[in-house]
Structure 1
Amino acid sequence: MEDTLQRFFLEIAYDGTGYHGWQVQDNAVSVQQKLNEALHQILRYPIETIGAGRTDTGVHARQLFVHLDIPKGRIQDESRFLHSLNSLLPPDIAANRIFSVDNEAHARFDATERAYEYHIHFRKNPFLIHKSWQLRELPDVAIMNNAATFLIGTQDFACFSKSHTQVYTNICTVTQAYWQKTDNGLVFHITANRFLRNMVRAIVGTLLDIGLQKKTPESIMDIISSMDRSKAGFSVPAHGLYLTKIVYPYIDTAF
Structure 2
Amino acid sequence: MRRIKLTISYDGTNYAGYQVQPNGNTIQAEIEAVLTRMHGGKVKVVASGRTDARVHALGQVLHFDTSLGMPADRFVKALNAMLPDDILVKDAEEVDASFHARYGAKRKEYRYVVRQEDDPFRRHYAVTVTYPLDVERIRQAIRLLVGTHDFTSFSVTKAEVVDRVRTIYAAELLETEGELIFRFIGSGFLYNQVRIMVGTLIEVGRGKYEPADISRMLAARDRRVAGITAPPHGLYLWNVNYEKVD
Q: Secondary structure at the match of 2:215?
A: helix
Deviations 1:225-248 (A, max 9, x none): 111111100011100000000000
The structure 2 residue matched to 1:146, chosen from 130, 140, 145, is: 140
2-structure distance, mates of 1:143, 1:46:
51
Deviations 1:35-93 (A, max 9, x none): 1001111122321111001101100000111111111xx14233433212101100100
Matched with 2:26 is 30
The structure 2 residue matched to 1:92, chosen from 73, 86, 89, is: 86
Q: Secondary structure at the match of 2:139?
A: helix
Matched with 2:175 is 181
Is 1:212 aligned to residue 206 of structure 2?
Answer: yes
Q: CA deviation at 1:169?
A: 1.1
C-alpha contact (below 8 Å) 1:119/1:188 kept by paired residues: yes
The structure 2 residue matched to 1:78, chosen from 57, 68, 72, is: 72
Aligned residue type for 2:215: M
2-structure distance, mates of 1:81, 1:56:
26
The structure 2 residue matched to 1:201, chosen from 195, 219, 236, is: 195
Matched with 1:109 is 103
TM-score by length of structure 1 reads 0.93
Aligned residue type for 2:54: G
Aligned residue type for 2:103: F
Percent identity, aligned pairs only, is 34
Q: Secondary structure at the match of 2:20?
A: coil
Deviations 1:86-138 (A, max 9, x none): 01100100011111111111000110000011101111111101100011012
Q: Secondary structure at the match of 1:242?
A: strand
Matched with 1:253 is none
Matched with 2:165 is 171
C-alpha contact (below 8 Å) 2:4/2:72 kept by paired residues: no
C-alpha contact (below 8 Å) 1:45/1:70 kept by paired residues: no
Q: How many residues were matched structurally?
A: 244
Aligned residue type for 2:164: N
Q: Secondary structure at the match of 1:12?
A: strand
Matched with 1:40 is 36
Deviations 1:195-246 (A, max 9, x none): 0000000000111111111111111111111111111000111000000000
2-structure distance, mates of 1:155, 1:79:
40
2-structure distance, mates of 1:228, 1:12:
35
Deviations 1:130-161 (A, max 9, x none): 10001101211111111111101101001111
TM-score by length of structure 2 reads 0.96
Matched with 2:51 is 55
Q: Secondary structure at the match of 2:144?
A: helix
Q: CA deviation at 1:165?
A: 1.1
Deviations 1:169-189 (A, max 9, x none): 100000111111111221100
What RMSD in Å do the two structures reach over aligned CA positions?
1.1
1-structure distance, mates of 2:69, 2:12:
28
